Amino acid sequence: MPIVPPVLRGKTRDLPDVPPLVQFLIGQFLTPILAWLESLVYRPLLRRCADHPLVLLAQWYDPSAVVAACQGFHHAPGTPGAPPTFTIQQFVRIEIVRAWADCCSDPALERLLSTDLLVRWFVGLPLSQPAPDHSTLADFHAYLCAHAPAAFFLDTLTFLDRLDPEPPETTPQIVDTFAMESPVAACRGPAHLLRHLCLRLARC
């Protein structure tokens, strides 16, 4: 049995050997056909993975504030340069995947985007579209860190406040009670602890 399937070998035609009229009809309705195929692939996948963190996050979290903060990554319409292949929203969701997968390597993130169907669905990559390459992923990550370093952190705090509007001082905290009773605890709040934790994670 050959290792490489025949359909993946070089010089293989994209369409089957059918009459030109059928090829014309397929070309005319290619967009709805691809949308139908995607629904056939994703419907059972999402039903089986309904409790997956990315599926739940897609239902609850709207990253539009972070997307707005990163609009400068793409050149303005009408200026020289090729039109962008990927949207800012896709890049922002890719950064969420980077954090969820605990993946700091751009080549590893590229492989994940190329092979994981659930990740592709969360990001909004069509089945027929290649994933961004590692250099593009690195460019956006660098832009996010340089121009909107606090965007995700502040939007996440807003999101958590919206889900749990109870004041922090009345919310039970699972922390080291001995440390909270120490004299140092008076000048340290949850926001400081979160900033310190994020700084340590960024350094790691």
Sign of CA dihedral 36, 37, 40, 42: negative
Sign of CA dihedral 44, 48, 53, 55: positive
- Residue 203: per-residue pLDDT: 82
Selected residue with higher pLDDT from 167 and 56: 56
CB proximity list for 118: less than 8 A, separation 6 or greater: 45, 49, 52, 54, 55
Q: Between the ranges 5-14, 46-55, 178-187, where is the mean pLDDT highest?
A: 46-55
Segment 154-161 shows an average pLDDT of 86
- Residue 66: per-residue pLDDT: 93
Please say if the pLDDT value at position 4 is more than 60: no
pTM of the model: 0.68
Distance from C-alpha of 8 to C-alpha of 36, rounded to nearest angstrom: 23
Distance from C-alpha of 175 to C-alpha of 157, rounded to nearest angstrom: 19
- Residue 156: per-residue pLDDT: 86
Segment 95-106 shows an average pLDDT of 88
Share above pLDDT 90 across residues of the chain, in percent, rounded to a whole number: 36
Distance from C-alpha of 72 to C-alpha of 88, rounded to nearest angstrom: 9
106-138 pLDDT per residue, tens? 999 999 999 999 999 999 998 888 999 999 999
Buried b / exposed e along 178-203 (16+ C-beta atoms within 10 A): eeeeeeeeeeeeeeeeeeeeeeeeee
